Structures are given as structure tokens and as C-alpha cells.
Amino acid sequence: MIAAADIRAALSRPHRHGTHSSFVGETCDGPLDLSGLTLSGVDFSGAIFPEGLDARGATFEGLSWFSRVTFGADARFAGATFASDARFEDAAFAGSADFEGTDFRGIARFDRARVSGDLRMRGITCNGNLSFEAARIAGAADLSQAEFMGGLWLQDVGFPAGTAFADTQIHGRLWLRGGHVGNRVLRPADFDMAYGYAWT
């Protein structure tokens, strides 16, 4: 187990290209508050945050890996910036996953993620592809007013009924095969503006 203050101190050091801090498989002791900070590269793969994480308004300058992470409470990334790829595949969110207004400058990967609470992605921008392959969202989901510059991959995703897609823009491939919203299949017509090809 590692103290939340020690993680914060390590990530507050100036970013150097090609380097990162590793907290692979660690359990964070206490709530981790990274809000508003400029952070160096980090690999949290397999880490556990029993009391959640607050990274609202933070800037992740390097590696940003949250693969297989368990968030025991809300994960707050609203208004954050990911300067490189953001990887959340196989992550488990026991509370809500809040990415409202987040700027993903690389890819954003949430394949097989499980969100027990709400998923908030209203107004996000993703310069690369955003993928939710086989992800499951138990609470409400909001992807309205989002812009996906590198396409949107929703193979086998399970979104809840009433998921908001209003005013969402998709540039590039829209992949919907096997995806559902509630008890019906996802359709290209669910998205207001899709400028590329759609596969269903």
C-alpha cells in the first residue's frame, strides 16, 4: 500500500520525455487528489483506489495508463487534458466515471471497462479514436456535444437506455457492430453528425 501523498509528490515532478512513474498493482491509501496539477507520465495498471481519484482540471503530460485499475469510489477527470494516449481498458468504476469536458489528444481506450455508476463524457474532445469495445455502463451515460476526430469504436458495447448522443460529431469510422443501447442495437441515426463510414 502506498500513501496518496507519495503518489501526488512523485507525479508533481517535471515531466521528462521517455520516463514515467510506475505504480503498477499498488493500492492507494486514502483518496488521491491530483486536481489542477500538471503531471508527469504514469503507469497505474492494475492499481486500486479504494477511495476514488480526483483529477479534475489536471494535465497528464506523458504516459497515462489506467488499465485494469479499480476505482472504489467516484473517478473525477472532468476538464482534464491527456496529452498522450489515455488507456482505461478493463478498468472497474464502482462509482461514477466523470470525464465531462476532458481533452483527449491521443486515443482514449475504455475496452471492457465496467462502470457501476454514471458515465459523464459530455463535451469531450478526442483527437484519436475513442473505443468502448465490450464496455458496460450500469448508470446513466452522456456523450452529448462530444467531438471524436479519429472515429468512434463501439463493438459489443452495452450502453443504458436513454444514453445521450445529442450534437455529437464523429469524424472518421463509426463502428457499431454488436453495440446496444438499452435493449436495441445502436444505429448511425443515433448520432447527429457522422462524417465518415458507419459499420453496423
At residue 178, the pLDDT reads: 96
At residue 112, the pLDDT reads: 98
At residue 23, the pLDDT reads: 87
Q: Minimal CA–CA distance to 52: which of 4, 88, 6, 99?
A: 4
Please write the tens of the pLDDT for every residue from 156-178. Answer: 999 999 999 999 999 989 999 99
At residue 18, the pLDDT reads: 65
Q: Minimal CA–CA distance to 26: which of 65, 78, 76?
A: 65
At residue 19, the pLDDT reads: 61
Query: Which regions of the chain are under pLDDT 50?
Result: none
Please write the tens of the pLDDT for every residue from 62-93. Answer: 889 999 999 999 999 999 999 989 999 999 99
Distance CA 47, CA 193 (A): 37
At residue 68, the pLDDT reads: 98
